[in-house]
Amino acid sequence: MSLQFNGVGIERIKQYYHRGMENIIFSLNSTMPVFLMMLLGVLFRRVGIMDEGFANRLSKFVFTIALPFVLFRDLAVIDFKSAWDFNYVLFCFMATLFSIMISTLVSFLFKDHSVRGEFIQASYRSSATILGIAFIQSMYSTTGMGPLMVLGCAPLYNIFAVIVLSLFKPGERGISKEKLKRSFLGIVKNPILIAIAIGLVWSFIGIPLKGIVYKTVSNVGATATPLGVIAMGASLDFKRISGNLKPAIVAAIFKLLLFVSIFAPIAYFFGFRNEALVAIIVMLGSATTVASFVMAKNMGYEGAVTSATIAMTTLLSAFTLTFWFFLFRTLGAI
């Protein structure tokens, strides 16, 4: 009896081991290709193939053309009723809103008032649009719930970036109507949100997307992930990482660990699985977007906290996202 028990025990250990290795390989296969492309961007910058200006123009192309094309395509060819999920959009919206509130409350612990605005934005504003779509496509060969995730979080990203950077800017009080107007126009003119809206309307009306038009849209959209991730890597400036390390480290912990550990289990409890859960994990735990540095600089900040957070989260998210994917893969959720 003892030997049989031991045999059964050993067999179970082998099963758990093989299952664990399969989940690790699945997670690495999902994350490593994306981050290797990002490292290519860093390499291209180092050897002179790309400079900061070229990387910025490439990012603009991806954001304004390639990514909207792929989001439009994936929404236009599916049934509108099956694509729309109000509860999912609401969850992404509320998770983003509470993340902003938590970051704002913690920012008051910093004695240096000048870092508060940057800290808040760097803590909550992720690369969800580009990396979210990249990871979902890597795992499922479709954008899945990615567009609805973007619809839930992107407006808040832009609105609150303007609000917090204005409110906490040293020597400036309140928010001017002009800044709020620019923020509103920026949301209305956001090509990602426009593409999602057109794609949903196209799907609702039932217009077929086939043949030459479909292939053209697909070919342009196919450039979004590789070019966007490479441009992100080429945009990083590791020399800025030494400035204001303390708030940047706290922001990186929030960005990569805290918000996922709070809201991903809640998403799991509410029944979100597969592409939907992957999009939420990336929304909460991907690297801080390079666009946050551009906005901070344009609004008169030094940008040291933001750039340091971008560099740290970009480097470490390769490991943290792999861990989160492995964990929820082990739970059978993705």
Torsion of CA 62, 257, 255, 289, to 10 degrees: -20
How far, in Å, are 4, 101, 179, 223 from residue 157 at the CA level? 58, 12, 15, 24
Residues 6+ apart with CB under 8 A from 161: 121, 125, 183, 292, 295
pLDDT beyond 90 at 250: yes
Cβ atoms within 10 Å of 33's Cβ, excluding its own? 16
Predicted model pTM: 0.76
The 3-state DSSP class for residue 67 equals helix
pLDDT beyond 90 at 90: yes
d(CA 114, CA 220): 42
The DSSP secondary-structure symbol of 257 reads I
Nearest of 270, 257, 274 to residue 332 by alpha carbon: 274
Q: So what's the pLDDT on residue 88?
A: 92
> What is the percent of the chain where pLDDT is above 90?
25
The 3-state DSSP class for residue 126 equals strand
Residue 322 CA to its chain's centroid (Å): 14
Angle between helices 52-61 and 224-235 (to 10 degrees): 150
d(CA 119, CA 94): 20
Q: Mean pLDDT check: name the lowest of 52-61, 137-146, 191-200, 224-233.
A: 137-146
Domains and CATH numbers, the chain: 10-330 (1.20.1530.20)
The DSSP secondary-structure symbol of 288 reads B
pLDDT beyond 70 at 170: no
Residue 205 CA to its chain's centroid (Å): 30
* Structure tokens belonging to residue 279: 């999009």
The 3-state DSSP class for residue 169 equals coil
Q: So what's the pLDDT on residue 3?
A: 46
Residues 6+ apart with CB under 8 A from 78: 203
Taking phi over 0 as left and psi of -120 to 50 as alpha, with beta for the rest, 142 belongs to beta
List residues bridging with 126 in a β-sheet.
288
At 269-298, the pLDDT tens digits run 999 998 899 989 989 998 888 777 767 876
To which H or E segment does residue 15 belong? helix 2-47
- Angle at the Cα of 273 from the Cα atoms of 270 and 279, rounded to 5 degrees: 100
Amino acid in the structure at residue 193: L
At 310-333, the pLDDT tens digits run 878 877 887 898 899 889 988 989
